[in-house]
Structure 1
């Protein structure tokens, strides 16, 4: 099962689950995107004026299409920070095959991240300018539309974005907002943020049960390099290779996931002998024993920061 994930802030919980056995997702137009350079990769601005004039004449401008965005991963920390109000919100995982069956005209594609327009688009513009044939003009329009909506500058690659376009016939107008309602069949998992309130956590757990979706709580560990997930508040899970799976192993003391089979995580593997040795050789402890630590810190020469290079 291929999953894609939508990040939500805590404040929209009631709006997302306002309809029984459905999830409501707000859809938006390019003018409302958080990236002001959306659609820029739908044209090669470095081409000559003749090709640019052909592009302008044939394409005019990229149409504004309703769009909603997902991510390929539920454990992207910047996404939790930016779109789920600093881990207080939640994430919903959707089954892509169910989405496509429910909305057959919906175009769901991974974003391509790059620093300049694709060679396919550049070549299409050249063909349209040189051959001046209707089929070349139509091909240019189609490629521009696709590249504009499914390409972003490389600096956004951390989002691991998946975009859904062609929503017009499926959305409903709700108080001036365009909302796509997805039924329980499309909903595979709900993940509660690590900093969510107890009220939010309980509400999400209840909704997950009603939708027959897996329920997870995001956890920030001390040794695992990304957030991990607690299934039903008990079993640790990790996200790898596009799926939520059991870890290679878990620490016998703190129960955090391990990246390889073993008994203990790096922190729990520190034993009393290690601690005693480290404490015995800590120069700060020696200075403090003789009452010299505060004076040492006070008199330690401050290094002036180097000028910015």
Structure 2
């Protein structure tokens, strides 16, 4: 199993994940209704250079790298729920929603070979592996893990947090859903244009209040900055 000694673990307790709009409400809200978190294979992530390692040693060592990554699954979250670009890119132009998670609860997930939630590091330089690295199990694993938590500086605005799941048990698909401990989801935050795709109050939303609260995003007056508001569905409709 890879080691997390070189990773910067997350200190804040509230973390977030953006979810896109889907006309099938049950499918769209499945992460909330089923209380699950999805881990994806790196090959299915939106950045083709995600988990990239510079191939200094030709095709043979690239094959070894692919074997190392074959049973790796990544879950991406963030410390930010009010980034206007991420609402556009990952929540279907602000028509989706964000789930807020309690990190202390997530860290009690009873799943084998789960790497803790750690910050992604951003750099203009890629991770490199030499022949010596490939011949050393410890060095090879450390650099593979570092690559998973390493991205180009152009992604720095995402303030990304990652957790990694390892194991051949999950390799039949390009994703694996983990069931979360009870009360791991601490808030539902609707996008500022969520209702543009939902002409009437979705029935499922009636069951999505947490502690009698529902949150939604709004532009601040006279600004392009988003702010989180708390209220009822009726107050959300009135704000649009």
- Give the shorter-chain TM-score range: 0.7 to 0.9
What TM-score comes out, normalization by structure 1 length?
0.58
The match for 2:186 is: 188
What TM-score comes out, normalization by structure 2 length?
0.73
Higher share of residues assigned strand: 2
Residues 184 and 212, structure 1, Cα contact 8 Å, conserved in 2: no
1:76, 1:228 → 2: CA distance? Answer: 9
Correspondence for 1:114 among 116, 120, 123:
123
The match for 1:244 is: none
Shift of 1:114: 0.5
Correspondence for 1:86 among 90, 93, 96:
93
1:183, 1:5 → 2: CA distance? Answer: 16
Where 1:70 maps in the other structure, the secondary structure is strand
Where 2:18 maps in the other structure, the secondary structure is strand
Residues 26 and 179, structure 1, Cα contact 8 Å, conserved in 2: yes
Q: Count residues in correspondence.
A: 215
| Deviation string, structure 1 residues 179-209 (Cα, Å, up to 9, x no partner) | 2332442111110011111568655643333
1:100, 1:213 → 2: CA distance? Answer: 25
Residues 14 and 79, structure 2, Cα contact 8 Å, conserved in 1: yes
Residues 111 and 150, structure 1, Cα contact 8 Å, conserved in 2: yes
Higher RCO (Cα < 8 Å, 6 or more apart): 2
Higher share of residues assigned helix: 1
Where 1:185 maps in the other structure, the secondary structure is coil
Where 2:208 maps in the other structure, the secondary structure is helix
Shift of 1:158: 1.4
2:125, 2:31 → 1: CA distance? Answer: 42
The match for 1:218 is: 217
Superposed CA RMSD in Å reads 3.7
Greater shift after overlay, 75-84 or 109-118? 109-118
- Bigger radius of gyration among the two: 1
Correspondence for 1:75 among 77, 82, 86:
82
After TM superposition, list the pairs within 5 Å mapping 1:99-248 onto structure 2. 99-103=106-110, 105-107=113-115, 108-117=117-126, 125=130, 128=132, 137-166=136-165, 178-197=176-195, 203=203, 205-209=205-209, 212=211, 214-224=213-223, 226-233=225-232
2:172, 2:199 → 1: CA distance? Answer: 29
1:182, 1:169 → 2: CA distance? Answer: 21
1:20, 1:5 → 2: CA distance? Answer: 13
1:20, 1:94 → 2: CA distance? Answer: 11
| Deviation string, structure 1 residues 236-255 (Cα, Å, up to 9, x no partner) | xxxxxxxxxxxxxxxxxxxx
Q: Which runs of 5+ in 1 are unaligned?
A: 235-309
| Deviation string, structure 1 residues 42-83 (Cα, Å, up to 9, x no partner) | 34x5xxx6xx47x93995444131222111111111110011
